[in-house]
Amino acid sequence: MTFDTIQTIPVSPALGVEIGGVDLSQSLGDDVIAEIRQAWLEYRVVFFRDQDITPQQHLAFARRFGDLVTYPMVKGLDDYPEIAPVIKLEHQTVNFGGIWHSDTTYLPQPPMGAILVARELPPKGGDTLFANMVMAYEALPEAMKERLSGLIAINSSAKGHVTKSREDCQKDMDDMPEPLSAEHPAVRTHPETELKSLYVNRGHTVGFKGMAEDESAPLLEELFEHQTGGEFTCRFQWRPGSIAFWDNRSAQHNPINDYHGHKRVMHRITLAGDVPV
């Protein structure tokens, strides 16, 4: 579609668009916000370049799209608890969330989306991959779509690799939450676009309700391999002033851990979602 108030440059055939012509440090009109939201729904993830915003402006922009929620596994900034710092220090070898995933699908109401601002970047590396789960679902054979219809996926916060990736971010938390789990449809319908998307992910999905592990494990592995195929993905190279805003209901992401010996600091705001159906 065409837009009147924003400039758009798609970054891949699968998903992702860079939005220009807006200054997120300023108060934006309703027409601009509406077009950003439409681009976000259409492309699953939108990117902004050369933005210089304060934490207050980050919060103000996020609130134009929905209610904010705190991230359950990371302590927010002291002055801005709704902003979660995502940090990897020079001596660390494991990065936060460094695996393909949809955010916090172990919650009864996973987030609608998240807005990530680059604060400090390594000299090279640290890109983020995104994948289009609508395309991934639509590309499945009809027999697989029928098999997945009605299946309920079990998601857990305690899946091994992701648990390890959170350890350094959790060291300053006074009270660690108990492992969380939630059940969601393996195929969900987007509440705004009404499109179906594949809603299992390597980071959190551990099985299917009512299915033995020896049956669910190979099915999950097949889906995990399928949904992150190159034809469904884009790669975003961060620069100072870069911002990414993804739709957690229809996209997955994977921050690449290729910058050992360097510091990377990102600020993340999470938007409240609904119960997947």
DSSP structure string for 150-177:
T-EEEEETT-HHHHHHHTGGGTT-SSPP
Q: Is 101 assigned a catalytic role?
A: yes
Whether residue 251 contacts residue 12, with contact meaning beta carbons closer than 8 Å, is answered with no
Tokens of 189: 């319908």
Locate 110 and state its tokens: 């996973």
Could you tell me if 252 and 100 are in contact, meaning their C-beta atoms sit under 8 angstroms apart? Answer: yes
Catalytic residue among 188, 253, 264, 267: 253
Let me know if 168 is a catalytic residue: no
Does 67 participate in catalysis according to the annotation? no
Token pair for 237: 């190279």
Among the options 103, 188, 264, 267, which is catalytic? 103
139: DSSP letter: T
Contact 18, 217 (CB under 8 A): no
Q: 202, 204, 249, 268: which one is catalytic?
A: 268
Spatial CA neighbour of 35 closest among 10, 58, 55, 65: 65
Rounded-to-integer distance, Cα 216 and Cα 208, Å: 6
- E-assigned strand segments in the chain: 7-10, 17-20, 45-48, 68-69, 83-88, 113-120, 128-132, 152-156, 181-185, 187-189, 196-198, 205-208, 233-236, 243-247, 251-255, 264-271
Nearest-angstrom CA–CA distance, 163 and 168: 10
Active site residue 58: no
Selecting among 101, 188, 202, 264, the annotated active-site residue is 101
Structure-block tokens of residue 161: 């690799």
The whole-angstrom separation of Cα 16 and Cα 103 is: 18
Which of the residues are catalytic?
A: 101, 103, 253, 268
